[in-house]
Amino acid sequence: MSAFSAIGNDREVDQNEFTPGIEPQPTWCPGCGDFGVLKALKGAMAELGKDPEEVLLCTGIGCSGKLNSYFDSYGFHTIHGRSLPVARAAKLANSDLEVVAAGGDGDGYGIGGNHFMHTARENHDMTYIVFNNEVFGLTKGQTSPTSPQGHKSKTQPEGNAKAPIRPLSLGLTSGASYVARTAAVNPNQAKEILVEAMQHDGFSHVDFLTQCPTWNKDAKQYVPYVDIQDSDDYDFDVSDRREAQEMMHETEDALYEGTVLTGRYYVEEGRRSYQQEKRHRGSMPEQPLAERYFDDDAEWERSFDYIDRHK
């Protein structure tokens, strides 16, 4: 019998089960895009029938990191930029958990950029939501890795000399096997994409446009948006890496020209997730490792079994 009875139950889940009793109302600014992420995530979890106690949500630091406070599940509010290494290890330790990581664009593409690249490369079976508002919000409006060139702030008073990160392209070239962009202003699409991302076996990267009405007033509210799957103007194959790359490039450029393109960009089916690959190579046990510690009948190897080599 599993030591983790919250995992894998087939039951109806109401999305309100994810609302904490202690602080049900988030303290994000009115009009903040982060509300949209919270709503979409709760909806997606309920749709997938996830028990709050089989979910581990790992966040970084920033307004986005507050997601944990308003989403009631097992949570790990980590440190700036480090949600991914914590999250992916938890998934390795107990592969039955539903693991989601989330953070802002500074957290994921800036300070945690190295972890983003490598977690995507390794194709861990988890979902990563990046709250992309093109600015640092919690520290009051500094230029971020996705801020456009020329963006003026207290830390870039003469205007940002740096070209912004291309988040979707970065996810793709790093090795993510599911890459999508959605927007807080498009709640239905956001929920659908999060459902797909969690169902996908591998690393799902969701760049989530979250408008910041406080520190990015001049920026677009990400409306009107275009769903590239619904539009006749765009026709490409999401399973083709080269076509996906081209579509991403166009999308990234368009955002800074005022056109908000969203949707699925790359979906690679059939590739083993990191967990599957490690098991395939015999470097990870078939059963969730954490279970063993709660099994009183488990046999434990000891160093004495290996001591002959030192004689």
Tokens of 183: 């927007």
- Residues 37, 38, 40, 73: which binds other proteins (CB under 8 A)? 73
Query: What is the length of the chain?
Result: 311
- Residues 16, 31, 49, 93: which binds other proteins (CB under 8 A)? 93
Q: Bridge partners of 178?
A: 204, 267
23 binds other proteins per the rule CB under 8 A: yes
* Inter-residue contact 57 to 251 (CB < 8 Å): no
- Residues 15, 26, 29, 96: which binds other proteins (CB under 8 A)? 96
207 binds other proteins per the rule CB under 8 A: no
In angstroms, what is the minimal distance from the CB of 64 to other proteins?
Answer: 14
Q: Which is nearer to other proteins, 27 or 199 (CB)?
A: 27
Stretch that binds other proteins, among 37-45, 79-87, 151-159, 218-226 (CB under 8 A): 79-87
Tokens of 178: 């599911």
304 binds other proteins per the rule CB under 8 A: yes
Backbone angles phi, psi at 148, to 5 degrees: -70, 160
* Inter-residue contact 86 to 55 (CB < 8 Å): no
Report the site for other proteins in 231-290 (rule: CB under 8 A). 278, 282-285, 289-290
Query: Quick one: which of 255, 246, 270, 275 has its CA closest to 97?
Result: 275
Angstrom distance (rounded) from CA 130 to CA 222 = 15
Angstrom distance (rounded) from CA 288 to CA 234 = 42
CA dihedral 270, 276, 278, 281 (to 10 degrees): -70
- Residues 26, 85, 148, 187: which binds other proteins (CB under 8 A)? 85
Angstrom distance (rounded) from CA 251 to CA 130 = 16
187 binds other proteins per the rule CB under 8 A: no
Binding site for other proteins (CB under 8 A): 3-7, 20-23, 52-56, 58, 68-69, 72-79, 82, 85-94, 96-97, 114-115, 117-118, 278, 282-285, 289-290, 292-294, 298, 300-304, 306-307, 310-311
